[in-house]
Chain A
Amino acid sequence: MSEAFWIVLGMAAVTYLPRMLPFFWRPAAYSPFVRRFLKYLPFAILGALIFPGVLTSTGSPASSVAGAAVAVLFAWWRWHLILVVLGAVLAATLVGAIGG
């Protein structure tokens, strides 16, 4: 097998490890403090995933900002997630095509 194959296997192992461990080593019950921590974790992770990465997501700041703005607007109106994604892609593509 090629070297790339073994690299991919190594990548797979170190990616599966952090996914799997918490499903097997877990306490019987979590303290209220840990429960609050876990409750806010999705908000923190989503915030950090979005920013600042979104600014460089399409290769041009203008089309990235246009796509993100459409996504925020549609999401604020509680439109379906599919429309949020499609609207953002469309906006980013159009602004990118115009030369933004």
Chain B
Amino acid sequence: MEERRSKGTWQETLHRHPIVQGAMNALPIAIGYVPIAIAYGLLAKSAGLTLFITVFMSMAVYAGASQFLGVSLIGAQAGAASIIALTFFLNLRLLLMSTALSARLREPRALLRAIVAFGVTDESFSVASFRPGPLETSYLLTLEFVAYASWVAGSALGYLTGEWLPSSLQAGMGIALYAMFIGLLVPNARTSRTGLIVAVLAMLLNSGFAPLLGPGMGIVITAIIVSLAAALLDREERAEEAVQDGAATHER
């Protein structure tokens, strides 16, 4: 009895370790990344890029949508300035995500903050956002590294072997990232009424903005407007905060 309990505790301790949790939380990201990275590698090859440029872009840029854009524009001989400017606007939303993550990260070492920053993606941000409690550097670094490795490896794999996959599977894999976004959003929206309303409003607003502003800026403007409105109007959350603040003052 005593032995069983101590064994359980040992496993629980391991299970709760930030590095173990980071690796486990990264698995669904990796499973979503690999098919998308294969599609990217395949596109880069058909656009006439070398294997080196294809993998180098995954390692240095590490941002899905802009890489798809980049390889097709490089293949179409578009100007460097326009490709880089498009990439910038497409990835401006990372500014919002890094702001939210940086507010929860207590890491004094500049080098580690710089490395954590490099691994911020739609997916690592979403997973880390819904992690309860403090954000440990070791958790984030593990989460980001596993995701990054799967993206880089998948890109090379797609370039080298992607054309052998059946075309219906190649097309079906396009849903993987969206399924991950849905899998992150739905369970959390079930427990937060305001969160659900915010997400639905963002979908509607982005449907109007995306065709006008392009997918990158559409997401940025939508996210700012809807989150501002929620922060202004959410009375429940304010009442909750007041109670928590009161309790915190009491404890002190």
Closest chain B CB from A41 CB (angstroms): 5
Main secondary structure on chain A at its contact with chain B?
A: helix
Taken residue by residue from 221 to 249, chain B's Cβ proximity to chain A (1 for < 8 Å, 0 otherwise) reads as 01100111011101001100100000000
Assembled-state Cα–Cα distance A85/B126 (Å) = 15
Of A17, A68, A81, A93, which is within 8 A of B171 by CB?
A93
Q: What mask results when residues 60 to 100 of chain A are scored 1 for a CB within 8 Å of chain B, else 0?
A: 10011001101110111010111011111111111011000
Task: Determine whether the beta carbon of A46 is less than 8 Å from that of B114.
Answer: no
Query: Chain B residues near A78 (CB, 8 Å)?
Result: 187
In the assembly, what is the distance between CA of A23 and CA of B99, in Å?
7
Interface string of B51-72 (1 = CB under 8 A from A): 0010011001111001000100
**Interface size of B in residues (CB-CB distance below 8 Å):** 101
Give the interface residue-count category, chain A: 35 or more
Give 1 or 0 for each of B192-224: 1 = CB within 8 Å of chain A CB.
101110111111011100100001001100110
Q: What are the interface flags for A1-36 relative to B under an 8 Å C-beta threshold, 1 for contact and 0 otherwise?
A: 011111111111011111111111010001011111
Contact of B205 among A22, A41, A48 (CB under 8 A): A48
B contact residues around A20 at 8 Å (CB): 98, 114, 117-118
Cα A37 to Cα B181 in complex, Å, equals 20
Please tell me if the beta carbons of B219 and A18 are within 8 angstroms of each other in the complex: no
The winner among B105, B129, B190, B196 for most chain A CB atoms within 10 A is B129
Determine which residue in B178, B238, B241 has the highest number of CB atoms from chain A within 10 A of its CB, and name it: B178
Contact check: which of A4, A17, A42, A85 meets B28 at CB < 8 Å? A85
Binds A, one of B2-10, B11-19, B84-92, B152-160: B84-92
Q: Per a CB cutoff under 8 Å, which of B57, B179, B183, B238 touches A89?
A: B179
B66 touches A15 (CB 8 A): yes
Chain B, residues 149-188, CB within 8 Å of chain A (1/0): the string is: 0000000000000000010110111111111111111111
- Choose one: B88, B172, B199; the contact of A63 (CB below 8 Å): B172
Q: How far is the CA of A89 from the CA of B113 in the complex (A)?
A: 35
Q: Is there contact, CB below 8 Å, between B199 and A47?
A: yes
Closest B residue, CB atoms, query A98: B168
Whether A71 contacts B183 in the complex (CB less than 8 A), given A22-B95, A45-B202, comes out as yes
- Contacts of B74-113 to chain A: CB distance below 8 A: 74, 80, 83-85, 87-88, 91-103, 105, 110, 113
A14 near B195 (CB under 8 angstroms)? no
CB distance from A19 to the nearest CB of B (A): 5
Q: A7-B84, A32-B241 are in contact. Are A40 and B171 (CB under 8 A)?
A: no
Known contacts A8-B61, A36-B231, A43-B192; 4 further A-B pairs (Cβ under 8 A): A18-B95, A50-B203, A75-B186, A85-B180
Nearest 7 A/B pairs, CB to CB: A93-B172, A47-B202, A88-B179, A84-B183, A67-B175, A81-B28, A47-B199
